[in-house]
Structure 1
C-alpha cells in the first residue's frame, strides 16, 4: 500500500543527521506493514497533485501552530477536506491531529493547562496506553462527528476517529524516549518548564506503547483503503 507522508515540519537540524527527519521516524515506525512511502514537504509548499496520489495519507508533527499564519496551512486544510470527502484514509499525529480537527470545524489553541512532555498515559477506550508527548497546543473542541477514543486529565481529545476515514492522535508514537530526550535538549530549554523536562527524564525508561499504536494506525489505513 502506498502511503503519502505530508511533512509539516522538520526535526531539529542538530538531530537530523542521526535520527532522520519526521517522515523517516514514521517509515521506521510502520516498517513491516507492507507499505511504501512518498514524502511531500508541505511545510515547504510541496504538495501532491491530488488526494489520489497515494492510497492513504499521514500528516506529521510540526513546531508550528495550526492556527498560525503560514502559507501551507490553508492548502493543507483544503487537502484534508478533499481527502475526507473522497474517503481516502488518513492518519494525523500531534500537529496532524490538530490541523485535521481545525480543517473539519474543530478548535485548536494554546492550552491554558500548559505543556505535556515525555511519557503520558491515556485511557484508550478502557485500555491504558503510554506514549511520549510533546505539545502545548491541543484540540479543545472536537469537530462535529468526531469520536473521542483516548483522553487523560490533561488532554480531553487525545485521539479522535472520524468514521473509517481519519484517525488522529495527539501524542507521538513515532518518538522513542531517546528522541524525546534530545528534543528536550534542543528545543525544550527555556521554552518548556524545567520541572516538566525533569519529570520527562525521570520516566524516559518506562515502557511505551509505540508498537501497539503503530499496528492500529496501519490497520486503520489498510481497512480504509479496502472500503
Structure 2
C-alpha cells in the first residue's frame, strides 16, 4: 500500500513579529500558514532576519519555501540578506518551489540576477489592481476550470520594487504603480509584490506604525485607509494561486 509522504514547507521570515500580529494571530507564521497551508502538511519557521537558516543537508526534504516581506531593503548588504540570496540560488538550482512575497519577491529577483531598487513613484500602500498579462492556467497556478479575472486587487505596502526581472523570467502582472507585480521562472519560482496573506486589519495597524515613526506622510495613510473602506482585496483568489503554485 502506498502511503503518501507528508508535504513539508519552510517559511523564511524576514521580519520580526509586530505586537499587533502577535496578539491577534500569534505571529506572522500563523498568518502565512492560514493563507497558504493545508491540513496534513508540516510547516517550519526560520527567522532568517535573525540569521536562522535551514541546514543545507535538509533542503531536499522540503516541497517548497516561502520568503516573507520585510522592513529591510532587498538590495541591502546585511549579512543575513547575502546569506538568503545564496540560499535562494541553491534552491533555484535544485528547482525547489520558491514563493517570494513583497521583500521576498524583490530579494528573489536580486538573487537570480535581476535588479531591484527604490520605486521612483514612492510608497505604494493600500489596495492596488494588478493586471494579469499571461494565461495563468498554463503555469498550473489554478485548478482545472477556474478562471482568473483580467485584474485582481491585492494589498500593497512597499517603497522598493523590481526594476528588471532575471533572465528567463516572465512578467505575469503589472499595475499602474509598479511594472513588475508578479513574475515566474521555470514554473518553480513565483514572485508577488503585494501581500496575499495580509488582512485589512494587519495593513491598518501597519499604517498606524509607519505614520507614528514618520515613515509615511499623513495623506498617504488617509488615501490607503479610504481605499480599504471602498473595496476588498481578492484574497481567496490570490491564496488559491499561491497554494496551487506551491503544491502543483
| Secondary structure of the corresponding residue to residue 43 of structure 1 | helix
What are the Cα deviations for residues 125-150 of structure 1, in whole angstroms up to 9, with x where unaligned? 37110010000001111111111001
Cα distance in 2 for partners of 1:22, 1:107 equals 27
Structure 1 residue aligned with 2:185: 162
2:13 corresponds to 1:7: yes
- For structure 1, the residue ranges without an aligned partner over 5 or more in a row are none
Whether the 8 Å contact between 1:62 and 1:95 is mirrored in structure 2 is yes
Cα distance in 1 for partners of 2:64, 2:211 equals 32
TM-score (norm 1): 0.93
Whether the 8 Å contact between 2:37 and 2:243 is mirrored in structure 1 is no
| Per-residue deviation, 1:34 | 4.7
Structure 1 residue aligned with 2:62: 54
| Per-residue deviation, 1:188 | 3.3
Structure 2 residue aligned with 1:213: 238
Question: Would you say how many aligned residue pairs link Structure 1 and Structure 2?
Answer: 223
Whether the 8 Å contact between 2:20 and 2:205 is mirrored in structure 1 is no
2:132 corresponds to 1:108: no
Higher-Rg structure is 2
What are the Cα deviations for residues 104-139 of structure 1, in whole angstroms up to 9, with x where unaligned? 111111112101001111102371100100000011
| Secondary structure of the corresponding residue to residue 167 of structure 1 | strand
Structure 1 residue aligned with 2:222: 198
What are the Cα deviations for residues 162-217 of structure 1, in whole angstroms up to 9, with x where unaligned? 11111110000111111100110112342122222111111213121111111111
| Per-residue deviation, 1:222 | 1.2
| Per-residue deviation, 1:21 | 2.6
Structure 2 residue aligned with 1:88: 96
- For structure 2, the residue ranges without an aligned partner over 5 or more in a row are 1-6, 134-148
How large is the Cα RMSD of the aligned pairs? 1.5
